Structure 1
Amino acid sequence: MSGIGPVEPGEGTTRARDTHNDPAPERTSRLARFYGAHRRPLLAGAAAAVVLAGGCLYATRPHAPQQAAPVPPFPSQVVDVTYLGGHSVPPGTRPRTFAFDVLIGVESGPPVTVTRVSQPYAALSLTSAPRTPFRTESGSARTIVITLHVTECGNVPENAGLPFLDVTLRNARAIQVHSFILGRRYAQDLSQALQVACSNDSA
């Protein structure tokens, strides 16, 4: 046997770790035993935490905003006025008075109320039956009798040209004054009625 013992590490070198004196295996075995003893409770607790977290996320998830209701159309966009022809006046009606029928229809949207009907000539007065205001439902139409009275023959037009009615309309969207041109037939009938009404000097 040689008297030379184990080689000592030189200066500046580090001794290799003695695994027999390392307490890590003992700590590892204690952790393993702890995990084995408490494995099921730990897993159950972790699963419950995940479920609760998911429930909280679901409960606090913001709801999608409700879609806004569509805006109603302007009343002039859905109302139509059609000339139907002359209307006889009741016996005993004052002179220089004549009448005609129009059809007022509402195509769609909310109901429309007619609050006023007028015409552009200062020498004529106008009334309607039914009297304003009156209401027309969506998808329906009603016949209106327009009665005109000549107040001053000297100022009535000799040729009515393309006369119109000013109709004030109201619905859930707005109030509008719209001019409806009733066409050539109405212009001819109005001109003829004015000539008849003012053919003599009777008031």
Structure 2
Amino acid sequence: MAVNGTTGIGPVEPGEGTHGRDLPEPEATPPPHPGRRRATLALAVTAALLAAGGYLYATRPHDPPPPEVPYPAQTVAFAFLGDRVPPSGAPPRSFSFAVRMSVLEGPPVTVPRIGQPYAGLSLTEKPPVPFRTKAGSPREITITMHVTDCATVPKDAGLPFLDVTLRNTRAIQVQSFILGSRYAQHLSHSLKVACSNDR
């Protein structure tokens, strides 16, 4: 109901003895400091670069593993060179011959032992074992055999061989090397000469 020409619609005014609540003015947010903005930007760029680098490292193509060192028996060759004069002081019924050892590839090969299959024979070698040979440097070895029992050596050595222990950085192996027909003929002849008085 209007009183004195006014309406009842309008803002509510505080009554007598009351005060309106003064709300604080909102504070203006200061602009970020230029140095802080640069530091934040640098951190963001660094994080992005690290993430990209980590991704590239994780997805890079891997190099193939290096090839394995071959087994020593796969890299060594022996060849018969011919007869030699037995060393002075060799016992009776001794004979000598030479072989050439070659390492074809890979790391150096050590020879800890040289043997042969016949019970009635013993042998010594020069240089004495153990010795080492590297690729590209063939080594001549003089082997002297001594007949200890003519009854147990063959009259004709068909396919005689040498048992050679070989060692490189990968393995130790015992390999039998057949030295060919010239060695077989030499060995058979030498055994016949050595045991001629016993037969």
TM range (shorter): 0.7 to 0.9
SS in 1 for 2:138: strand
| Structure 2 runs not aligned, ≥5 long | 1-28
Does residue 106 of the first structure (1) align with residue 110 of the second (2)?
Answer: no
Q: In the alignment, which residue of structure 2 is the partner of 1:52?
A: 46
| Structure 1 runs not aligned, ≥5 long | 1-33
Q: In the alignment, which residue of structure 2 is the partner of 1:167?
A: 164
Q: In the alignment, which residue of structure 1 is the partner of 2:9?
A: none
Matches within 5 A, 1:17-56: 48=42, 50-56=44-50
TM-score after normalising by structure 2: 0.74
Structure 1 or 2: more helix by fraction? 1
Q: In the alignment, which residue of structure 2 is the partner of 1:77?
A: 74
SS in 2 for 1:140: coil
C-alpha distance in structure 1 between counterparts of 2:156 and 2:112, whole Å: 29
TM-score after normalising by structure 1: 0.72
Shift of 1:52: 2.7
C-alpha distance in structure 1 between counterparts of 2:39 and 2:93, whole Å: 98
Q: In the alignment, which residue of structure 1 is the partner of 2:3?
A: none
SS in 2 for 1:169: strand
Shift of 1:49: 5.8
What amino acid maps onto 2:86 in structure 1? V
Q: In the alignment, which residue of structure 1 is the partner of 2:175?
A: 178
Number of equivalent positions: 167
Decide whether aligned partners of structure 1 residues 134 and 91 sit closer, same or farther in structure 2, where only a CA change above 3 A counts.
Answer: closer
Deviations 1:139-166 (A, max 9, x none): 2210000110000111110110010000
Q: Is the 8 A contact 1:107 1:140 kept in 2?
A: no
**Percentage of pairs with the same residue:** 53
Shift of 1:126: 0.9
What amino acid maps onto 2:47 in structure 1? A
What amino acid maps onto 1:194 in structure 2? L
What amino acid maps onto 2:77 in structure 1? D
